[in-house]
A and B are shown apart, each in its own frame.
Chain A
């Protein structure tokens, strides 16, 4: 499509607002899904829309539309709406000052999914699907999902920022489903990238393993609930960093809460000195990669916990202004239908110096948890489910167990991390983060193995 540059630059000059920000998105999405032997979905979607956000007398106005026509009228509507709130405002929103940015950001180098014929994509996924369905035994079904999204994004603000970005996001999951006597167990292989279609290839060995695990889970006993020393694989450690700590680092959960500000004060001890957690937009290929956020702020690496102490948090311009800290490039919207809110990007745990051997050798009774079906957090409480888990006895892995759910108090659990692996693992999946009705947002979480003492495993009641 034609660049809306002049249109946007004109529209952000409408009178009557302290700040005007216009974002235009043009995306093409391809989706392919197999369910069992059936190709369930082949679809292409064209997503186009505009998001207008204005600040008037300290109140936000937001208008979003699938049409770009009458743009100035839409800006005026946003302004009028924001203005009508003035009499009820108890506190005015202000924005942290930023330098205007002018930039054109091309897509990251890599195999562009748009250059890959649909038939090639379908055949590649079909091969995985055949592999799963051909595994035999009780692996009787499958779910194979793939999507790619190519986005042109234009952002103009009344503060002089104008940025054009071309973005790629793609991902998929290959799930083996085993069924026997009414019981169903599954295990997935995931992949994702912000750059390269190549990540879709080369998963046959992992798929074979996923089939074996799904099959084995049918015979696995339930995890016995209780308090244990637990080793998390890098994927689950990353989910933990995201769910358990990342969300608390989002300044919009803190900036208007005096009590939480006190808990989340800089320098407070959150973990052992071996623990460093950061959030970054600068790793090309990570699904959390982001050159500029949706307020036009260049992203960087933001340390959250450094050697166990709180050193930073994630900001939008609004939360940064309120807390007197610099913006961090974490204001993100999933698409043109929403205003940007404070979100994570690629949330990582820095590697330590432990080997897996070091971690397991002195565990008398514990669990090794791998992979995740997702998690949830509300303040100090978190819960997530391991995709596979093994009981550890006398320093050795023993049998597979099912339904191992890791849950507990964020603050206590962070402090109980006692070992961090040296095997920092770069890996992206197909999922996304949900917050404030905006889901799924592409994020990543990279980490090494970690070990946690006194972690709570919920499984079958009546265990240890």
Chain B
């Protein structure tokens, strides 16, 4: 086992040993993240960074109550324990058990050459993106971050789980900005992976093609139109779905799907997976942040609600098995979340999908669509980057228009086609989806 992995597991073990005698149950989670990004801002190389951060989270159960404390400092378990114990005296009832012994799911997620890539490698990738976009139009300002890193996590529980895992990370974000008078255009791409397998040509072409499609603004009239959601805008379309399968929303009764496990909720051509077991995915893991082995989890299987996303607490509350999808943020408390999200492709070539549109829209980014109540399915967003299609061809950019739709309705009854091709956005892989039933309103 590499030194860092062993150190992290040892640290967990030390904290656990201290906590054991004074608690009914305890769990230690430790993470180390190292990251090296280089940054280009407005087409200019600006700087390089190295970050190396630790975090240790201790959860204890005393008198059936849960207490939590976190620290960024290794080697000071006594202070951490005292805080967790103090918190447990006021804490809420625990209601679940920490992870039992288990073998982590075998997943390819560490690419040993990644941590050793020289800065020059990242600089070359960044420069290439800047140059390609500026070759298209030198007025465009291009900001790029190219980064690699390693995330090592360890979990140890008094109920017998021990695990440590390391994954490598590689990410590329590109942001192209063109302002002409008071007309602002921003085009972005962002891809995360476990290794530098990102198709750079496709990434660059994506930026340039979107810039080209937005070269002129075209008017749009109020009405209902078919809309192609690109993989980059899928979070806007799927937001209500992901909110409604989250175990916390199900447990608390907010999710409209809380009683519908196994039932058809979306179009039967739609399948959505959360797959932490994917080889070299950006969020791949053999066990989740609570020590539950991961699996390829079907959330929506041919339109059927196949599983919720659960952590230990929501699983216990719903009397279901945990799904290996617990994640932790800075506060240290786990919550259910998606890792590598996959939306299954369909059978229509993306080009034919576009060609089939008499008149309609292509959406790359909505603004403000996250706001409002996701459990109603109602989504309304300002078209931040979208294109008008006439007779199968993009004619220009649509601005000052609001797109509104009900996500549950359009994904159940309005899916017209799903593309055979997919693209990556952050840790997601998804096709283009053509839906009917979205309304456009403009002020004119």
Contacts and interface: CB of A to CB of B under 8 A. Distances in A.
Interface of A: 31, 35-36, 38-49, 59-67, 77-78, 81-82, 84-85, 88-91, 93, 118-119, 122, 140-141, 177, 179, 182-186, 225-227, 252, 256-257, 259-260, 263, 337, 339, 373-385, 403, 405, 407-409, 411, 456, 458-463
B50 A339 contact: no
Contacts of B120: 84
Interface in B173-218: 177, 179-184, 186
Contacts of B92: 38-42
A85 B375 contact: no
Contacts of A263: 179, 181-182
B253 A140 contact: yes
Contact of A46 (B53, B79, B371, B373): B79
B73 interface: yes
A43 B68 contact: yes
Contacts of B67: 42-43
B443 A456 contact: yes
Most chain A Cβ neighbours within 10 Å, of B41, B373, B375: B373
Nearest to B373: A184
Contact of B51 (A48, A64, A179): A64
A458 B91 CA distance: 43
Contacts of B100: none
A88 B139 CA distance: 20
A382 B330 CA distance: 29
Interface in B358-390: 367-368, 371-373, 375-376, 378, 380-382, 384
B68 A41 contact: yes
B72 A461 contact: no
Nearest to B68: A43
Contacts of B367: 376-378, 381-383, 407
Contact of A182 (B53, B177, B184, B256): B256
Listed from nearest, the 7 A-B pairs whose CB atoms lie closest are A60-B47, A383-B368, A379-B184, A39-B92, A256-B42, A461-B439, A385-B371
A81 B252 contact: no
Q: Report the interface size class on chain B.
A: 35 or more
Interface stretch (B6-14, B82-90, B288-296, B428-436): B82-90
B44 A49 contact: no
A133 to B, nearest CB: 13
Contacts of B47: 59-62, 82, 85, 339
Interface string B51-76: 11111000000000001111111000
B49 interface: yes
A318 to B, nearest CB: 9
B376 A39 contact: no
A407 B382 contact: yes
A64 B54 CA distance: 11
Contacts, number: 239
A44 B84 CA distance: 7
Interface of B: 38-39, 41-55, 67-73, 79-80, 83-84, 86-88, 90-93, 119-120, 123, 127, 139, 141, 177, 179-184, 186, 222, 248, 252-254, 256, 330-333, 367-368, 371-373, 375-376, 378, 380-382, 384, 399-400, 402, 404, 439-441, 443
Contacts of A65: 51-53
A183 B127 contact: no
Contacts of A411: 182
A137 B179 CA distance: 52
Contact of B182 (A48, A64, A380): A380
B72 A48 contact: yes
A7 B241 CA distance: 52
A218 B177 CA distance: 41
A311 to B, nearest CB: 20
Contact of B86 (A41, A82, A118, A405): A118
B69 A63 contact: no
Contact of A257 (B38, B86, B179, B378): B179
17 contacts: A40-B92, A43-B333, A44-B83, A45-B71, A66-B54, A77-B50, A82-B48, A90-B44, A119-B90, A140-B253, A186-B373, A380-B184, A381-B399, A385-B371, A403-B378, A456-B443, A459-B380
B387 to A, nearest CB: 16
B90 A88 contact: no
A379 B186 contact: yes
B440 A461 contact: yes
Contact of A66 (B41, B45, B72, B382): B72
Contact of B52 (A66, A85, A140, A185): A66
A182 B259 CA distance: 11
Nearest to B50: A63
Contacts of A63: 49-51
A14 to B, nearest CB: 16
Contacts of A119: 90
